[in-house]
Amino acid sequence: MDGDSPAAMSTGGDLRRCRIMKQADVVVVGGGPVGLFAGLSLLQQGVDVVVLEARAGGSAGSRAIGIHPPALRCLEQLGLIGAFLEAGTVVREASVFVDRRPLTRLRFDGCDPQHDGVLMVPQQQTERLLAEPLQDAGRISYGVRVDSLESTADDIVLRGDGAELQVRWVLVCDGRHSALRQALRVGMPVQAYAHGYIMGDFPDATDFGAAAAIFLGRQSLVESLPLPQNTRRWVVRLRSPQNACTADEIAAIVGQRTGHGLDAASCTMTSAFAAEQGIAERLRKGRAILLGDAAHVVSPIGGQGMNLGWLGAAALIPLLTQILNSTDPAAPALSAWERQVRSNWQRARRRAEANMFHGRPLRCPQLHRALMHLMLDTPLRHRFVRHYTMDGFT
């Protein structure tokens, strides 16, 4: 391939080494799950696209894990569903406990015509599967930092490392604290909730198998989710956020609330995070479009964030491909897309808040147990399952 083609760029370096990107139609800034998904979708549409990631490589951790049926359909369109199913664990049921006592089992049968569960894949594996086709095509570059951008009527100017690059469109996927969103002077008001969460991945010593487990009670929520390679994610709700946590801390709380013992010495990941929600004041400015956490955030409880970003990208890419190949005005189609993304975000926000409501400390577990029986052991069960699996998102 010609050395002046963007497809020749795959190794790391600063922005000055990327002058060949002047021939790219679209640059995706950010190589996390949403940026990689958008980049690969564009590549498969035949668009000249380059993904730039400031890090030296992909994620080493397993933070985002849940892929819901609407997002699984997106992976089918990319031809990656088989690879993802092989790399993950499908959760088809969840056991619910109140004060350690079994309440019911939720089965996800019939939640989707094609996918009857939620697929759990560690984030590093998700990024690997999405990045490999981009790397094979030479369309991703690690270690390249973009500090600012300027959007004009006809193009986008990217700046960094003392260099400038001009491209037709930029997809901003550089995360919750997006520097490029700030450079565009687009605000994103964020509401933080009072409580927080800590989580860790431990060897699975339970008998839950491929099922999830949800523990409710006087001491608040614990979630337990299966991962590949006999590993289990444990998520603990706290009364207030904290900046860090230890495996010993997680193991102690899980043991106290659920009775399950965890091997803290074998923990492979810990994380502490706050619950928050917010959406950017606008999702497009000129030829820059915000996606993923750069565009919106919801509480991680329910695992909707990455899925929401993928759905937004999947709806955008056909429109952007058409815009690139047409002289028709872009504004009407992109305005309709933004309305759809905002609608999905509102739905995700409401569902996340419902999940957090059910996970709060219970003052009267007996009453809550009766209410949960009403919800989960009656025809309302199907509605709850649809809620849990992001049914209805487009």
Q: What is the pLDDT of residues 61-104, one digit of tens each?
A: 778 999 999 999 999 999 999 999 999 999 999 998 988 888 88
- Neighbour count for residue 388 (Cβ, 10 Å): 21
Share of the chain above pLDDT 90, in %: 60
Separation of alpha carbons 256 and 261, rounded Å: 9
For residue 187, give both structure tokens. 């605000």
Separation of alpha carbons 325 and 286, rounded Å: 18
Using CA atoms, how far residue 302 sits from 3, 101, 118, in Å, is 45, 22, 11
pLDDT exceeds 90 at position 132: yes
The predicted pLDDT at position 278 comes to 95
| Calculated CA dihedral for residues 384, 76, 123, 257, nearest 10 degrees | 20
- Structure-model confidence comparison of residues 367 and 348, the more confident one: 348
Give me the phi and psi of 137, to 5 degrees please: -90, 0
The predicted pLDDT at position 248 comes to 98
All residues at 6 or more sequence positions from 24 whose CB lies less than 8 Å from its CB, including other chains: 6, 48, 49, 50, 167, 168
pLDDT exceeds 70 at position 347: yes
pTM value is 0.89
pLDDT exceeds 70 at position 46: yes
Residue 130 DSSP label: H
* CATH code reported for the domain at 6-62+122-188+280-353: 3.50.50.60
Half-sphere exposure at residue 80, Cβ-oriented, CA atoms within 13 angstroms: 23
All residues at 6 or more sequence positions from 293 whose CB lies less than 8 Å from its CB, including other chains: 32, 34, 175, 176, 178, 305, 309
The mean pLDDT value for 150-174 works out to 86
**Count of residues making up the chain:** 394
The predicted pLDDT at position 5 comes to 32
The predicted pLDDT at position 9 comes to 33
For residue 50, give both structure tokens. 């380059």
The mean pLDDT of the chain is 85
Q: Where would I find the H helices in the chain? A: 33-44, 69-77, 81-87, 123-136, 179-183, 247-258, 305-324, 331-358, 365-376, 380-388
The predicted pLDDT at position 149 comes to 86
Terminal Cα-to-Cα distance of the chain (whole angstroms): 38
Residue 99 DSSP label: T
Tell me which residue has tokens 């089992």. Answer: 105
| Calculated CA dihedral for residues 113, 349, 102, 206, nearest 10 degrees | 80
CATH class of 193-276+359-388: alpha beta
pLDDT exceeds 80 at position 201: yes
Q: Tell me if 389 sits within 8 A of 307, measured CB to CB.
A: no
- Neighbour count for residue 141 (Cβ, 10 Å): 24
The mean pLDDT value for 174-198 works out to 93
Q: What is the pLDDT of residues 258-275, one digit of tens each?
A: 999 999 999 999 999 988
pLDDT exceeds 80 at position 207: yes
- Structure-model confidence comparison of residues 351 and 366, the more confident one: 351
Domain ranges in the chain? Answer: 6-62+122-188+280-353, 193-276+359-388
Question: What sign does the CA torsion over 136, 138, 140, 145 have?
Answer: positive
Q: Tell me if 202 sits within 8 A of 262, measured CB to CB.
A: yes
pLDDT exceeds 80 at position 383: no
pLDDT exceeds 50 at position 287: yes
Quote the longest CA-to-CA distance of the chain: 70
The predicted pLDDT at position 57 comes to 85
